[in-house]
Structure 1
Amino acid sequence: MSTPPTAALAWAAADPYAAALRAGRGPLFLRRADGWLLPLEVERWCARADAVDRDVLDRCEGTVLDVGCGPGRLVAELAARGRAALGVDVSEAAVDHTVRLGGRALRRSVFEPLPGEGRWGTVLLMDGNVGIGGDPRALLDRVAGLLRPGGLLIAETAPVDVDERAQVQVVDLTDAGGTDALFPWARLGTRALLRYAQGWEPAGQWTAGGRCFAALRSRSSRSASSSAEPPKRTAVISSQRARNTSAGSPVPNR
């Protein structure tokens, strides 16, 4: 499967993004072509998983693929729990940071071939990553192909009712004019996400810490619980543990 090349290459080559991750702080923004700025929460992304994040991770099932993992706080937290997890990101700085935290990560776009396709228990789209590629239906279709039958998608949505597509750049305060390439991005509230989720079954919605989340499950299987409520405890069994590919990336066992 081919990747939307503009988006992947632009994120991968965004010097302000790489610099912010290496420093662990912003300010950093997505800048639309009309000059509107969306602040990016670099400090939170570079910190350890907080209580809101941990609640999301409590809801995950089986092996976990974190799409657009950024600096890796979620993958690292899952690894610390003994859970099989892999982060994917197009940014070398993001992947390096994830590995330093103790997580496993692969430098790749979600639209490129990935380990364990069709066998992941949960896919995460956190921190606005429902916007990847600027085409929500295409992203949801891709995620459906990554999950095992009845697998779970947990997505963080915008805290406002919005459904927009735009061409954006990653900029900091020293680059307000935007010299990097524009790439397509989307912002979706929960209602918009559900409108695009044809072939998915809603499995939960919640808000915490000013952040909004939705869980979706493929309708292709009724074998799993229809709810994404957090379990009373998290168990790790041997069949959920990762085996290594030749590249050293975790792939869930069949």
Structure 2
Amino acid sequence: MTAPAVAAQRSAPDPAWWADPYALALRHGKGPLFLRRADGWLLPLEVERWCAGTDAADRSVLSRCRGTVLDIGCGPGRLIAALAERGRGALGIDVAPAAVAQAVRRGGSALCRSVFETLPREGHWGTALLMDGNIGIGGNPSALLERVAGLLTPGGRLLVEAAPVEVDERCEVRLDDGRGTLGTPFPWARAGRRALLHHAGATGWRTARSWTVTGRHFAELVRVAPLHVAAPTGAPVCLGGAQ
């Protein structure tokens, strides 16, 4: 990525983001941090893993990247930093300024932007990543998969992580720091391996392979036909690893 792509996100973020539970967790490099549904159910988020280096599961994904790489919901940037170290062109996007700032500090290129906004090099990325539960971005996996199809070059691939359990859920959640601080509600989704492959097939993707490493489930999807995509309104929250 060019220097302007990095510099574009260096302006001071809205102070409200620094008080957000996600931003504070990233600053400290640890949780607790949860996604809270309206019924009180909590999903623990792996802040420590996101802020650490890549592990065996991450490396199994990175080894399958081809061409330039777009990491959607890059969080604090462990994957784009690892790709930069390998000399591969890569860009991370995330709507959380704290995450983008940390990704850049780690040596990656990143922009503070939603996947549903206009992005650099649309239609020309070789690989897109949706790791750490980011298939949930926007609360509609099918709409997200259609949007990603429009970002890739013909024959491009999407490397995506499924939920560790068989689930197909769309809901509204809030970030919860476990100490009474709640973030703003936003739409989210979870898709287990079976549901993920169903959504992929229904939106014009072919599953090239799927695999599991250390209990994390992944799929490599190949774009088989151009799709006409109407981008949803708004800027959904993407977590670097809710993921």
TM-score range relative to shorter protein: 0.7 to 0.9
Q: Give the secondary-structure state (helix, strand or coil) at the position aligned to 1:61.
A: coil
Select 1:80's aligned residue among 80, 85, 96: 85
1:188 aligns with 2:191: yes
Q: CA deviation at 1:158?
A: 0.6
CA distance in 2, matches of 1:165, 1:12: 25
Instruction: Check whether the contact 1:130–1:188 (CA below 8 A) recurs between aligned residues.
Output: yes
Point out where structure 1 has 5 or more consecutive residues left out of the alignment.
Answer: 1-8, 222-254
Instruction: Check whether the contact 2:56–2:213 (CA below 8 A) recurs between aligned residues.
Output: no
Q: Give the secondary-structure state (helix, strand or coil) at the position aligned to 1:174.
A: coil
Aligned residue pairs, count? 210
2:239 paired residue number: none
CA distance in 2, matches of 1:24, 1:168: 22
Alignment of 1:1-254 (within 5 A): 15-175=20-180, 178=182, 180-197=183-200, 198=202, 199-220=204-225
* TM-score between the two structures when normalised by the length of structure 2: 0.83
Instruction: Check whether the contact 1:165–1:186 (CA below 8 A) recurs between aligned residues.
Output: yes
Structure 1 counterpart of 2:221, which letter? L
* TM-score between the two structures when normalised by the length of structure 1: 0.80
Instruction: Check whether the contact 1:14–1:170 (CA below 8 A) recurs between aligned residues.
Output: no
CA distance in 2, matches of 1:101, 1:36: 33
Q: Give the secondary-structure state (helix, strand or coil) at the position aligned to 1:166.
A: strand
Percent identity over paired residues: 66
Structure 1 stretches (4+) deviating beyond 3 angstroms?
11-14
Structure 2 counterpart of 1:44, which letter? R
Instruction: Check whether the contact 1:13–1:91 (CA below 8 A) recurs between aligned residues.
Output: no
CA distance in 2, matches of 1:105, 1:215: 23
CA distance in 1, matches of 2:19, 2:74: 16
1:226 paired residue number: none
1:224 paired residue number: none
Q: CA deviation at 1:175?
A: 2.0
Instruction: Check whether the contact 1:205–1:215 (CA below 8 A) recurs between aligned residues.
Output: yes
Structure 1 counterpart of 2:149, which letter? A
Structure 2 counterpart of 1:57, which letter? L
Q: Give the secondary-structure state (helix, strand or coil) at the position aligned to 2:150.
A: helix
Q: CA deviation at 1:126?
A: 0.2
Q: CA deviation at 1:181?
A: 2.1
Q: Give the secondary-structure state (helix, strand or coil) at the position aligned to 2:26.
A: helix
Alignment RMSD (CA, Å): 1.7
CA distance in 1, matches of 2:18, 2:143: 23
Structure 1 counterpart of 2:33, which letter? L
CA distance in 2, matches of 1:97, 1:124: 18
Q: Which has the larger radius of gyration?
A: 1
2:232 paired residue number: none
